[in-house]
Amino acid sequence: MQSTSWVPLFPDQASTFAWQVDYFYFYLILVSVSFAIPIVVAIFFFAIKYREKEKFETPEEIHGSMVLETTWSIIPFVISMTIFLGGAYLYFQQYRPPADTMEIYVVGKQWMWKFQHGTGQREINELHVPAGRNIKLMMTTEDVLHDVFIPAFRTKADVVPGRYTTLWFNATTPGKYHLYCAEYCGLNHSGMGGWVYVMPQNEFDDWLAGGGSNQTPVELGKDLFTNKLGCASCHAGGQNQRGAKLEGLFGTDVKLTTGQVVKADEEYIRNSILNPSGQIVEGYQPIMPTFKGQVTEEQLVGLVAYIKSLGSPNAATSTTAAPTTNAAAPSANTKPAATPAAPASNQPAPKKK
């Protein structure tokens, strides 16, 4: 699907920060114009006024002016600080998602956008969102660098191979808005776009309900975890657990064997699946195999969603029980494992008896 219709010079303001970006943009234009015009005028004026009137004329000497030089240093300094502060304010607002967001997973691919909602609904090159809700896109790509750009929301962000990036917005006005890829990504880059449909909450709920029975990301992840990839054989808990418990992991601080403390976020879980030996949790051995090349980006999204669903320490209190240790487990099976995850503080590694 290609979106070929014209983009207006100034697209609709359809997100909560669209007007702020516009004000800032016009402020930048105003500053630029109010310097550029006087400078050009002065160039012509002085060129004429101080032109050489007679051959080999000796110009008058100038000894400088403290007042003048101080003035033309302080005024531009103040102006550039307003630009810095305005830009920093907008940046912090746009790239730090609030806590109460609805998450949608995005996978870029030459040359299409794949979206998946928390309920399992999938879309390609179209994204339906409710108006007035904070929406967070969790984004990655299967191949090269892409960039999600929604002009009407005045927001964009790179989608980077091998990592998760996020973008958030709150769409204010129901309607249909352009979606683009804003990073040259190969032959059909210009065709890599589509539409964002902003709907009133009740219409969105109807739309979401009409999507048939898709597997949700959490269900997909659970299936991979317990069946297809066999993660559960080390991470499921109980007396045979060699890997760290993952319940209650998400959002905690994890201490690594290097002494470094990292936060168990989406990126950390992803890295632990693809490159387990890169981040060995304190108390464990590097025995977990890598799953690089065995899982697609969408399956990774599912696994991350599943591990997130196992709860964070503030959400779940019943999941932190230690594995029972009274049964003598076969010693061959009780080596501490390299694991993607163990909050070292409250979940000691299962010790060999």
According to CB under 6 A, which one of 14, 131, 155, 183 is a site residue for ligand CUA? 183
266 in contact with ligand CUA (CB under 6 A) = no
Distance (Å, rounded) from C-alpha 4 to C-alpha 258? 52
Which residues is 33 bridged to in the sheet?
none
Judged by beta carbon, residue 110 or residue 215, the one nearer ligand CUA is: 110
Min CB(125)–ligand CUA separation in Å: 11
Specify the stretch interacting with ligand CUA by CB under 6 A; choose among 45-53, 160-168, 178-186, 313-321.
178-186
- Integer-rounded Cα Rg, in Å, for the chain is 28
Min CB(223)–ligand CUA separation in Å: 30
Q: What x/- string results for residues 101 through 130 when contact with ligand CUA is judged by CB under 6 A?
A: -------x--x-------------------
User: 16: closest CA among 205, 198, 204?
Assistant: 198
According to CB under 6 A, which one of 114, 117, 128, 146 is a site residue for ligand CUA? 146
Site size for ligand CUA, by CB under 6 A? 9
Residue type, 133: R
According to CB under 6 A, which one of 184, 278, 296, 322 is a site residue for ligand CUA? 184
Cβ count within 10 A of residue 266: 20
Judged by beta carbon, residue 109 or residue 133, the one nearer ligand CUA is: 109
> Which residues, including other chains, have CB under 8 Å from residue 179's CB and lie 6 or more apart?
3, 113, 125, 127, 148, 149, 150, 193, 194, 195, 196
Specify the stretch interacting with ligand CUA by CB under 6 A; choose among 78-86, 184-192, 261-269, 321-329.
184-192
Sheet-wide strand order for 175-181: 126-130, 193-199, 175-181, 146-150, 155-159
Contact 12, 173 (CB under 8 A): yes
Backbone angles phi, psi at 140, to 5 degrees: -155, 180
Judged by beta carbon, residue 158 or residue 298, the one nearer ligand CUA is: 158
178 in contact with ligand CUA (CB under 6 A) = no
What is the binding site for ligand CUA (CB under 6 A)? 108, 111, 146, 181, 183-185, 189, 192
